[in-house]
Structure 1
Amino acid sequence: MLTRETPVFIDGPCGQLEALWLDTPDARGVALICHPNPVQGGTMLNKVVSTLQRTARDGGLATLRFNYRGVGASAGDHDMHSGEVDDAQAAAHWLRLHYPQLPLTLLGFSFGGFVAASLGGRLEQQGIELAHLFMVAPAVSRLTAENPPAQRCPLTLIQPEADEVIDPQAVYAWSAGLGRAHELLKVAECGHFFHGKLTDLKDLLLPRLSN
């Protein structure tokens, strides 16, 4: 199995977006991974994002992770709202051009959970069905009527119970109010960045990505 990602640049709404692409031979699907808060140092190299990428790879998916505008070598300035969703939409378009027949899975961590969910909503409005949406310790407070989350695809929420960045109770309340079928997985004795718990995260993700 190929494990080394290839650096690529994607045309984004504010200029080039820096990305890492793994073209898995005989891929059974594709995964787009969205990173955490860029203002607080989040990048596509974040260790949780790296775990999401490796797990998707091990599940047989081609993968793409990317830096939002203003992060790393990506052009533009932080928007912290719809702009990063626009960036993710450009990355999803790039993936769909390369793999037009393969189902798309979205994964997002923290702020990236908001981005992935909002992107999923946009894609569904365009008639694009998703294979799965994974929101890990997601910034659910950022989801608004302007950026509604995906509604039709399978949804898995993974929330650390000792999260010091995202209030777990806010995620649980958001989950309870969804009014649609989904899965909420709680990770005991785990902080926001999954210190010492990355293997637990992979163990939760892999069987769901491999289905």
Structure 2
Amino acid sequence: MSSHQHRKITIPGPVGGLQALYHPGEEGKPAVVVCHPHPQFGGTMRNKVVYWMARAFEGQGCSVLRFNFRGVEESEGAWDEGRGEADDARAALEWISQMHPDEALWLAGFSFGCYAGLQAARTDSRVCHMFAVAPAVNYWSFAFMRGETRPVTVISGTDDEIVPFERVRTSVRGKPHIHFYAIEGAGHFFPNHMPQMTEALLKDAFGNH
């Protein structure tokens, strides 16, 4: 098990520095960018779900970068309706890919972080697996994912009070590249179901753990 040590860093973003936490992992293991929920509703890289997502990947030896979108805490810039935030995610992917040029590149997001992060991953052919936890399909259009064939892991709680479970399930239906996991009884922030969420997160990529 990894020691989960993190380096507090600033990475270059499109409109200034982006505050980040970086965990260097093991050689040969994937490099993962994790994107946080909506900045206008208190979302930061220290969000509990984002923290446990990062810890799950770190526990498998991955190098992990989580960062604050523009205008959040010490990140420069201002909220940009999801457009600039997607560019921030692109900058994060670029930074970690430069740090780990020989490793598989993955992108994971939670809620709004799925919208911004998946936009970045969609246009970056280096990304070979995407992970979307409680994607906010009722607030944002994910039409940009049409035609995608790379593996995507999607996780949703059946009792999500913010993003209706049926909306998520409908959005992934009939898409063979998407592996969908329903967490029975879980709310949007998985308060009582964090172990089930992280187990589902790792299942496709690492097998059962």
Structure 1 CA distance for aligned equivalents of residues 145 and 158 of structure 2: 25
Unaligned ranges ≥5, structure 1: none
Match of 2:203 in 1: 207
Identity level (%):
33
Q: 1:2-151, aligned counterparts within 5 Å?
A: 2-123=3-124, 128-141=125-138, 142-145=140-143, 147-148=144-145, 151=148
Give the aligned CA root-mean-square deviation in angstroms: 1.7
Structure 2 CA distance for aligned equivalents of residues 82 and 158 of structure 1: 24
**CA displacement, residues 110-167 of structure 1 (integer Å, 9 cap, x when unaligned):** 00111222111111xxxx232311100001241355x446813211110000001111
Match of 2:151 in 1: 154
**CA displacement, residues 29-63 of structure 1 (integer Å, 9 cap, x when unaligned):** 10100000000000000000001100001122100
Structure 1 CA distance for aligned equivalents of residues 118 and 22 of structure 2: 21
Letter in structure 1 aligned against 2:205: L
- Alpha-carbon distance change, 100 to 18 in structure 1, aligned in 2, over 3 angstroms: same
Structure 2 CA distance for aligned equivalents of residues 194 and 15 of structure 1: 33
Q: Residue 113 of structure 1 contacts residue 140 of structure 1 at CA under 8 Å; is this kept in 2?
A: no
- Alpha-carbon distance change, 70 to 149 in structure 1, aligned in 2, over 3 angstroms: farther
1:192 aligns to 2:188 (yes or no): yes
Letter in structure 1 aligned against 2:155: I
**What's the secondary structure of 2:66's corresponding residue?**
strand
Give the drift of 1:168.
1.3
Match of 1:173 in 2: 170
**What's the secondary structure of 2:177's corresponding residue?**
coil
Q: Residue 120 of structure 1 contacts residue 149 of structure 1 at CA under 8 Å; is this kept in 2?
A: no
Structure 2 CA distance for aligned equivalents of residues 150 and 102 of structure 1: 25
Aligned pair count reads 205
**CA displacement, residues 155-188 of structure 1 (integer Å, 9 cap, x when unaligned):** 1110000001111121112112x64421111011
Match of 2:179 in 1: 183
Give the drift of 1:209.
3.3
Structure 1 CA distance for aligned equivalents of residues 153 and 161 of structure 2: 21
Q: Residue 155 of structure 2 contacts residue 201 of structure 2 at CA under 8 Å; is this kept in 1?
A: no
Q: Residue 153 of structure 2 contacts residue 201 of structure 2 at CA under 8 Å; is this kept in 1?
A: no
- Alpha-carbon distance change, 23 to 183 in structure 1, aligned in 2, over 3 angstroms: same
